[in-house]
Amino acid sequence: MNADARPLTVTDLLALKGAGRRIVMLTCYDAIFARLLDASDVDILLVGDSLNQVIAGHETTLSATLDQMIYHAAAVRRGTRRGLVFVDLPFLTYQISIPEAIRNAGRVLQETGAHGVKLEGGSHMVETVSALVERGIPVMGHLGLTPQSVHALGGYRVQGRGEAAADRLLNDAKLLQSAGACAVVLELIPAPLAGRVSQSLSIPTIGIGAGPMCDGQVLVLHDMLGLNEQFAPKFLKQYATLGQTVREAVRAFAGEVRESKYPGKEHSFE
């Protein structure tokens, strides 16, 4: 990263779309990875409620808590200088009432220094998005496969298939934009539909399993690094095989310890 690079602002997202420059977003849950991503010119670090699965080992995101999200988001923000930090609002922290959504989203920004929040849902979330934006809280939407609704959707499956479903998703995206959302994540939808949505909006779309026509792309960091070796959906490309690297390093350490090769004189104090 250029040491003189200006930190991004939420309003830069519109400019990036206007310039045709693809937006890069990755999930991040700690300060060390935040520093690495920020030094690699990642535009948005998303503190996703996926941490409930990746870090905590749960099957879904549903049991993630606000305190959990705030803890990890504060750590990520401490490791970030250039990129934007957005934080998922966990299940039932924004759906119950608008005042509660404002209070919880405001707490996220106040206690972490993050730049905005992300929430799931379309038309039924429009009033909430509008209320947050009116109070100075940037909001990123999320349509398609919405993990907090995984049981209602019947599992992790492609959404927006069929003309009626596609029209409904496009309408939801337009409503989120009208409510003031600064971007919309499109997850697990057909690529032609993602292209149609992207062309219809002035705000950027960020895809995951939504094809190449979105204005940006996001992956879960541990998935793309090959650390989550049991997860291999069609849309995922692994850019490294760090799971194997970790095993090899740990086995080498264990072997040297058992053979009294580590620590050596060079690692010891006189």
* Per-residue exposure over 150-173, b if at least 16 CB sit within 10 Å of its own CB, e if not: beeeeeeebbbeeeeebebbbebb
* 227/238 Cα distance (integer angstroms): 9
Residue with tokens 């409510």: 179
Rg (C-alpha) for the chain, rounded Å, is 20
266 is catalytic: no
Active-site residue, from 100, 163, 187, 266: 187
Which positions are annotated as active-site residues?
187
